[in-house]
Chain A
Amino acid sequence: MSTGLKLAAAAAAAAIALSTPASAETLRIATEGAYPPFNFVDASGELQGFDVDIAKALCAAMEADCEITAQAWDGIIPGLNAGRYDAIVASMSITPERQEAVNFTEPYYQAGAVLVGPVESDIMPEPEALAGKLIGVQRASTYANLIEQRFPDAEARLYDTVENHNLDLTAGRLDGVIAQRIFMSNWLADEGEGYEMKGEAMLDPDILGLGAGIAVRKEDTELLERLDAALTQIMDDGTYDEINDRYFTVSLKPQR
């Protein structure tokens, strides 16, 4: 190691030591932990996934300690507003309804919805083709709204987790499921033998939103600004792309 490099390393270490506050703030973040590969609990009980890695990268960029907890999906917004954590990084789509309850950062990824059904079935994501069909969807998700508004004649079955509706799809209880495109393409590759995507991906900004954002309480405007700044930082310095490539073959980086 040359003297120059040593000096640079020492300077960098000093810079880090100086820039880290004596008592680093703790940012409490909730995720669902049941939405692989975005957020899930691994074999050792640790939360993992794209959302979790993004959350950790944001904390690093904000120089805060991260405390990430798992929270059931249908209580995740009430839990935020009750002050049990400060932000939600859980692949939550930004929608006007949710914006009435919480504030969102700029989207950190964009994905569409897709209909998946058995290979031999001829269902299509069209209102007439889905009339009377049993379609599984996660309760409280934007995909549930999509069925209600675009396919009103389909019979929606509401599940607590996407894993449960996929389980029922393979059990033959459902004609199809509507869920997030990337999640379903991973599921099809791993365990979805005999099933396929039907028709085109659905990108319906009115219902599906602008993409997934990080939710914070309405009054936490300062935290919102800092999260947005941190998001821009990790997108610019390559951290985002590095995390993206750990999980996906295509980039989910939103158009900004």
Chain B
Amino acid sequence: MNWQVMIDSIPRLLGGAAVTLQLVTLAALAGFAIALVVALARLNRNPLLWMPAFGFIFYFRGTPLLVQIFLIYYGLSQFPEVRDSALWPILREPWWCALLAFTLNTSAYTAEIMRGAIQAVPRGQIEAAMATGMSPLTRMRRVVLPQALRIGLPAYSNEVILLVKASSLASTVTLMDLTGVARTISSVNYMPVELLSMAALIYLAINFMLTRLFKLIEYQISGERRAAVRDPLMAAGLHNPEALQKAELK
């Protein structure tokens, strides 16, 4: 291992990491929004809504991401109609092609996570909301989605971490993301072990911060856990009067 090469490569690799983070953040945000629409369509009884949603999820979960990127980047550009269309200034750029592929791919997985989470909300909750006379929309907004968010969050954090790693495929369409920079430098100095190890450490750091971020969000939306911290007695399991009395006696 050549440590000097590893240290010297850090600034350029961090430049690549910025591209990776940019792609992942935008794809995750846009993918989340699309996924919500797809998940709700998937759960609808109207075949005109659930069938396209089913097809979308089926295609993007069932084909490799690399194939999707290549089809969008090299595939679409083969059609003169696409090259002459108003979309070409966007589809011409590898950055947009990669972002489009990542967004569609992650939205399909996220939609399935959301569908599962929405269906996991206890039936009694929905019945109670109906009993109080909430409209379906209010019910969704006030009762179902907040609970679904808590149920689906652990699975969703997994999906975002997978997205960070999958983003390394951006290097196959000429983008200088973290993997692209590592491959380019190692192609000149023939030290792939040093460069890829350094890149792996940066991926680890990104994903470590992501897991912390999701832990924080999970904590923020879990009322009972925050209450436990605010009330130390409750945290100690001393929330019943008898136990409290015993504790005071000591």
Q: Within 8 Å of chain A (Cβ to Cβ): is B168?
A: no
Across the interface, B174 reaches (CB within 8 A) one of A75, A101, A158, A172, namely A158
Given A78-B192, A157-B174, A160-B172 in contact, is the A172-B184 Cβ separation under 8 Å?
no
Closest 5 A/B residue pairs (Cβ): A140-B187, A171-B77, A157-B174, A101-B190, A74-B187
Give the A interface residue count (CB, 8 A).
22
Q: Within 8 Å of chain A (Cβ to Cβ): is B61?
A: no
Select the residue from B77, B92, B183, B187 with max chain A CB neighbours within 10 A.
B187
Complex CA distance for A74 and B188, rounded to whole angstroms? 9
Q: How far is the CB of A67 from chain B (nearest CB, A)?
A: 24
Cβ–Cβ contact B77 & A168, under 8 A: yes
Q: How far is the CB of A136 from chain B (nearest CB, A)?
A: 8
Closest to A160 in B: B172
Cβ–Cβ contact B83 & A74, under 8 A: no
Chain B contacts with A in 169-198, Cβ cutoff 8 A:
172, 174, 176, 180, 183-184, 186-190, 192-193
The residues of A that contact B56 with a CB separation of less than 8 Å are none
The residues of A that contact B184 with a CB separation of less than 8 Å are 139-140, 158
Q: Within 8 Å of chain A (Cβ to Cβ): is B132?
A: no
Given A139-B183, A171-B83 in contact, is the A159-B174 Cβ separation under 8 Å?
yes
Q: Within 8 Å of chain A (Cβ to Cβ): is B4?
A: no
Cβ–Cβ contact B74 & A97, under 8 A: no
Q: How far is the CB of A166 from chain B (nearest CB, A)?
A: 11
Cβ–Cβ contact B188 & A140, under 8 A: yes
Complex CA distance for A139 and B186, rounded to whole angstroms? 10
The residues of A that contact B78 with a CB separation of less than 8 Å are 167, 171
Q: How far is the CB of A76 from chain B (nearest CB, A)?
A: 10
Q: How far is the CB of B237 from chain A (nearest CB, A)?
A: 57
Chain B contacts with A in 75-123, Cβ cutoff 8 A:
77-78, 83, 92, 94
Report the number of A-B residue pairs with Cβ-Cβ less than 8 Å. 47
Q: Within 8 Å of chain B (Cβ to Cβ): is A59?
A: no
Complex CA distance for A77 and B83, rounded to whole angstroms? 38
Cβ–Cβ contact B174 & A167, under 8 A: no
Complex CA distance for A232 and B120, rounded to whole angstroms? 75
Complex CA distance for A101 and B78, rounded to whole angstroms? 39
Cβ–Cβ contact B92 & A172, under 8 A: yes
Interface residues of A (CB under 8 A from B): 74-75, 77-78, 97-98, 100-101, 139-140, 144-145, 157-160, 164, 167-168, 171-173
Q: How far is the CB of A215 from chain B (nearest CB, A)?
A: 11
Pick 27 A–B contacts, CB within 8 A, sort by A: A74-B186, A74-B192, A75-B192, A77-B190, A78-B192, A78-B193, A97-B190, A101-B190, A139-B184, A139-B187, A140-B184, A140-B187, A140-B188, A145-B188, A157-B174, A158-B174, A158-B176, A158-B180, A160-B172, A164-B74, A167-B74, A167-B77, A168-B174, A171-B74, A171-B83, A172-B83, A173-B92
The main secondary structure of chain A at its interface with chain B is helix
Complex CA distance for A23 and B189, rounded to whole angstroms? 39
Give the B interface residue count (CB, 8 A).
19
The residues of A that contact B77 with a CB separation of less than 8 Å are 167-168, 171-173
Q: How far is the CB of A98 from chain B (nearest CB, A)?
A: 8
Q: How far is the CB of A134 from chain B (nearest CB, A)?
A: 10
Complex CA distance for A78 and B196, rounded to whole angstroms? 13
The residues of A that contact B183 with a CB separation of less than 8 Å are 74, 139
Complex CA distance for A160 and B175, rounded to whole angstroms? 11
Cβ–Cβ contact B190 & A78, under 8 A: yes
Complex CA distance for A47 and B83, rounded to whole angstroms? 34
The residues of B that contact A77 with a CB separation of less than 8 Å are 190
The residues of A that contact B193 with a CB separation of less than 8 Å are 78
Complex CA distance for A144 and B183, rounded to whole angstroms? 13
The residues of B that contact A78 with a CB separation of less than 8 Å are 190, 192-193
The residues of A that contact B190 with a CB separation of less than 8 Å are 77-78, 97-98, 100-101
Chain B contacts with A in 12-30, Cβ cutoff 8 A:
none
Q: How far is the CB of A192 from chain B (nearest CB, A)?
A: 15
**19 further A-B pairs in the complex, CB-CB below 8 A; given A139-B187, A157-B94, A172-B77:** A74-B192, A77-B190, A98-B190, A139-B184, A144-B187, A145-B188, A157-B174, A158-B174, A158-B180, A158-B184, A159-B174, A167-B74, A167-B78, A168-B74, A171-B74, A171-B77, A171-B83, A172-B83, A173-B92
Closest to A157 in B: B174
Complex CA distance for A97 and B186, rounded to whole angstroms? 12
The residues of B that contact A145 with a CB separation of less than 8 Å are 188
Closest to A136 in B: B174
Q: How far is the CB of B219 from chain A (nearest CB, A)?
A: 43
Complex CA distance for A140 and B184, rounded to whole angstroms? 7
Closest to A78 in B: B192
Q: How far is the CB of B12 from chain A (nearest CB, A)?
A: 14
